[in-house]
Amino acid sequence: MEIVCVLIVVFSGLSGVFIASRYRERKAFFASLYNFLNYIKSNISFYKTRLEILIDNYDCETKFKNFLISVKNNLSSKVKNILPSYLTNQEKDEFVKFVSSLQNFDVSETIRSIDFYLSLVKNKVNQTGEEAKIKIPLIEKLTLGAGLIVAIILI
């Protein structure tokens, strides 16, 4: 019986870590997106480089780079289908609008679009940082506490 109780506590603790990792991924995604937007803004305004080339030349973590390559390969089709699941539908819609706006305007309109989206993403970076700071410890403690309560009840 003790083994079952230990397994319940371990499983509940690991499930809390798994759930909290989605908040960490969301926070990291917006931080990476913010850095990428600054990168494309400077390169488009100074060098007038195309988005596809900028994506190829951008150096970042592998997970975000794979996401950018997926976006590049699907610029003409549905970008919304490749967006991470931890984004809300509103965030997905905003991203799709942004990607489509990059293809339709001249350089000055593209820079304005990037500036607007940079402000949105900066707010999201701050919001997800605060959200992660509050929710991650709470989720980990609650799931571990629930596992301990179940284990105590079984004993």
pLDDT along the chain (155 residues), means of 10: 93 95 94 95 86 87 86 72 88 85 77 93 96 96 96 91
Whole-number pLDDT of residue 11: 96
**pLDDT at residue 102, rounded to an integer:** 78
Structure tokens at 110: 């593209």
Do 139 and 9 contact (CB within 8 A), yes or no?
A: no
- Look at the pTM and tell me if it is higher than 0.85: yes
Q: How many CB atoms are located within 10 Å of the residue 53 CB? A: 12
| pLDDT of 98 | 85
Is residue 1 classed as helix, strand or coil in its secondary structure?
Answer: coil
Give 36's contacts (C-beta < 8 A, 6+ positions apart).
58, 60, 64, 68
C-alpha torsion 73→75→81→83, nearest 10: 80
Whether 83 contacts 71, CB under 8 Å: no
